[in-house]
Amino acid sequence: MKQVGLRLPENEYAVPIPQRVAQLKVILSIIMPVLALMGLLNYAQGHRELALVEAVVMLLVFLPALLVPSATMLKDELYLNLGELLLLTGSAVIFIMLIHDGGISGTGMLWVPIFAFEAFYFRGIRRGWYWIIGFGIGTIIALSVLGSYYSNEELWMFLPAFGFYILLAYLTNRYRLLNARRLDEKVRERTARLEHLAMHDSLTDLPNRTALIHHTQKLIDHNDGSPLSIVIINCSRFQEINNLLGHENGDMMLKQMANRLQAFAGDHMFAARLAGDEFAIALQSEDELSDAIALRELMEEPYSISHDHIEIETRIGLARYPQHGKTPEELLRHADIALRTAKTIKKSPMIYSDDQNPYSIRRLELFGQLRNAIRNHELVLYFQPKVNLASGRIVAAEALVRWMHPHEGMVAPGEFIGIAEETGLMRPMTQWIIQQAIAQQSQWIAQDIEISIGVNLSMLDLTDPSFPASIKHQLIGHQAVKKLMTLEITESAFMNFPDIALKVIRELAELGFRISIDDYGTGYSSLSYLQNMPVDELKIDQSFVFNMLENPKSEAIVRSTIELAHNLDLEVVAEGIETPAAAARLKELGCDLGQGFGLGRPMPADDLEKLYRKQQHSREVRHEQA
């Protein structure tokens, strides 16, 4: 910022135009009635000539000065200058006439100095002096040509007084202008700061979405056919990192990400933070895909946060100008769709293409509606039977959430669990699911239905240190259920942050829940954790079960998993049993439980109850027959 000294700058008269218009109008509307009154008085006292001049000036000079500017001045500085000029000229004429008329030996002495104030006030210091000098010359001419009625004594009384008023007018106006200047600087500085805030992200100080849109628009306006694309990058597990390391460290991480992004962008590219862990670059490169890969590699290098090394995975979506969008907004929207696609199909960087769009639009719609789904009771739990393969009896059931969408019909969890995880809705959703499952389990216990319920947990639940406590709270009044209930967790859910997840899992086990490893075989399949973790059950992933009859490798995996589980004293469940043949083979291999469409689809609790009763009944009939 430029410091304002005691000197006035080059363009000293920095009063803004609207303010000048206002002051001109105010002064004129004060002057005119006063002048009319003075004119009448002068006329009455016989100063006819002076009164005539005053009337002429008032009608032909001041009145236009007041009217013309009011109509046009705001638009045009030229008319404003003309108005000020008229005012000063009119005043000069009247005052010179007053002096000529002998006025300064009477009350005119008090009126004339007003001119000095007017001159500085309306034209600033430098031009004000010109006017005063001009006024002096005019006065001398008037006195010498038209003749002076004054004695030397009278003139010598007037001159110092007038000089004093000129000095006073000069000082007060100088002070006024300096203050106006200072105020102006302050406003300018504050405006600049506000503009910076409006265009920048306060955490990382990177430009924000608005700034990116402005900048991209400029690039588009001046585009000469050189390549331009919008790249959006985000971190796939930021929410967990935030949970785990706390928000302060999360912020630190974002700052480090911002620094890397800025370093990558350098001076010739534009980097921005869009929201949360989402960043963007207006990329100008012949080979944008290699650049996007380079960016990904840079962003995925380990971060050191409070003595820890944090590794992250990123996703990148890219949209190219002009094929994928002609406006910055469209490019951003499409890069965002490419980013979401990159997330779901796990391929990054992802370049936008039109066929990604319908999916994402549906997804965006669901995204908006999911929040209300819980509140509107649109979620329900279905139960899929887990059958004891040796006896054929239903002994357990997996709770699988369904969204009964008012327009879409039933939406599968695969479509909305991911959205819930991304938008922070997973926590309330899991709370709801567990509450429902506990209520159902209680009811079945009361009805002597021996089905133990399995509930799926999300990775977000396992990285939330407060999760066990909240479950404990839900168990109040339902102590009997916890020995029956199983919590299903996937390997991938705890492998990212094994320490915290292990702590959460241990606490859940201490509460009395059984712990099951879901989709076993698809994740890291590192066995070491099984020794340290309070696991009770392994669920062999469906992908091995589907084709185990045709594919010896799958069968080998299934067989060895069953053996391993039994050696570790765990119960084994095979998922995805679609045919009686598969069920029979698994029974031969010694698998304990089976689950799959061949044994029973996920169904409402009532239906499962009926199925259970029917089984019980036929068993009793068989007993009686035997």
Whether 248 and 306 have beta carbons less than 8 Å apart is answered as: no
Number of H helices, E strands in the chain: 24, 16
Element (H, E) at 270: strand 270-275
3-class state of residue 237 by DSSP: coil
| Binding-site string for ligand C2E from residue 367 to residue 396, where x marks contact by CB under 6 A and - marks none | -----------------x------------
Which CB, 134 or 413, lies closer to Mg ion? 413
Q: Report which residue's Cβ sits closest to ligand C2E.
A: 596
What b/e string do you get for 77-109 counting C-beta neighbours within 10 Å, with b at 16 or more? eebbebbbebbbbbbbbbbbbbbbbebbbeebb
379-388/593-594 β-pairing: antiparallel
Tell which residue, 584, 578, 569, has the closest CA to residue 542: 578
Q: How far is CA 271 from the centre of its chain?
A: 15
Residue 457 interaction partner, one of ligand C2E, Mg ion, none, beta carbon < 5-8 Å per kind: ligand C2E
CB contact at 8 A, 577 and 598: yes
Nearer to ligand C2E, 338 or 453 (CB): 453
Contact range with ligand C2E by CB under 6 A, out of 64-72, 107-115, 314-322, 456-464: 456-464
CA gap 471, 214 in Å, rounded:
48
- Residue from 360, 596, 605, 612 that binds ligand C2E (CB under 6 A)? 596
Q: In terms of Cα–Cα distance, which of 424, 410, 406, 405 is closest to 382?
A: 410
Per-residue three-class SS string for 134-188? HHHHHHHHHHHHHCCCCCHHHHHHHHHHHHHHHHHHHHHHHHHHHHHHHHHHHHH
Kindly tell me the sign of the dihedral angle through the C-alpha atoms of 3, 9, 12, 16. Answer: negative
Segment near ligand C2E (CB under 6 A); pick from 119-127, 195-203, 250-258, 453-461: 453-461
Number of residues that bind ligand C2E (CB under 6 A): 24
> According to CB under 5 A, which residues from 544 to 583 bind Mg ion?
575
Q: Are 396 and 451 in contact (CB under 8 A)?
A: yes
For residues 416 and 379, what is the distance between their CA atoms, to the nearest angstrom? Answer: 11
- Ranges within 8-67 binding Mg ion (CB under 5 A): none
- In the bound state with ligand C2E, the residue whose beta carbon lies nearer, of 23 and 543, is 543
Binder of residue 86, out of Mg ion, ligand C2E, none (CB less than 5 to 8 A by kind): none
End-to-end CA distance of the chain: 100
Binding partner of 414, given Mg ion, ligand C2E, none, CB within 5-8 angstroms per partner class: ligand C2E
Query: Taking the complex as a whole, how short is the minimal distance between the CB of residue 575 and Mg ion, in angstroms?
Result: 5
Q: Which does 596 bind (CB under 5 to 8 A by kind): Mg ion, ligand C2E, none?
A: ligand C2E
By CB under 6 A, residue 537 contacts ligand C2E: no
Q: Is 46 a binder of ligand C2E (CB under 6 A)?
A: no
Q: Give the Cα separation of 316 and 314 in Å (integer).
A: 7
Per CB under 6 A, does 523 bind ligand C2E?
no
Q: What is the DSSP string of 475-514?
A: TTT-GGGGGT-EEEEEHHHHHSSHHHHHHHHHHHHHHT-E
CB of 196 to Mg ion, least distance (A): 50
- The smaller minimum CB distance to ligand C2E, of residues 240 and 518, is found at 518
Determine which residue in the list 139, 440, 456, 463 makes contact with ligand C2E, applying CB under 6 A: 456
Find the shortest distance in angstroms from Cβ 612 to ligand C2E.
18
CB of 600 to ligand C2E, least distance (A): 9
Query: Mind spelling out the 3-state secondary structure of 371-423?
Result: HHHHHCCCEEEEEEEEEECCCCCEEEEEEEEEEEECCCEEECHHHHHHHHHHH
Residue 488 C-beta: closest distance to ligand C2E, Å? 6
Task: Provide, rounded to whole angstroms, the least separation between the CB of residue 520 and ligand C2E.
Answer: 10
List the x/- string, 551-590, binding to ligand C2E by CB under 6 A: ------------------------xxxx------------
Under 8 Å between Cβ of 310 and 253:
yes
Q: What does residue 403 show for φ and ψ, rounded to 5 degrees?
A: -110, 115
Q: Binding ligand C2E by CB under 6 A: which of 130, 175, 524, 597?
A: 597
| Shortest Å distance, C-beta 532 to ligand C2E | 23
Query: In the bound complex, what is the minimum distance in angstroms from residue 410's beta carbon to ligand C2E?
Result: 10
Site string for Mg ion, 500-519 (x = CB under 5 A): ------------------xx
**Which 3 state secondary structure label does DSSP give 341?**
helix
Residue 90 or residue 521: which is nearer to Mg ion going by CB? 521
- Give the footprint of ligand C2E on residues 49-68 (CB under 6 A): none
Using CB under 5 A as the binding rule, the residues of this chain from 443 to 502 that contact Mg ion are: 456, 488
Sign, CA dihedral 66-72-75-81, equals: negative
The residue from 44, 412, 556, 581 that contacts ligand C2E (CB under 6 A) is: 412
Site string for ligand C2E, 490-519 (x = CB under 6 A): ----------------------------xx
For 95, phi and psi rounded to 5 degrees? -70, -40
Rounded distance between C-alpha atoms, residue 267 and residue 600, angstroms: 62
Q: Please write down the HEC assignment for all residues of 304-327.
A: EECCEEECCCEEEEEEEECCCCCC
- C-beta atoms surrounding 46 within 10 Å: 9
Region of 174-182, 184-192, 555-563, 592-600 interacting with ligand C2E (CB under 6 A)? 592-600
Cβ at position 574, least distance to Mg ion in Å: 10
| Residues contributing to the site for Mg ion (CB under 5 A) | 456, 488, 518-519, 575
| Residues contributing to the site for ligand C2E (CB under 6 A) | 384, 399-401, 412-414, 417, 433, 456-458, 488, 518-519, 542, 575-578, 595-597, 602
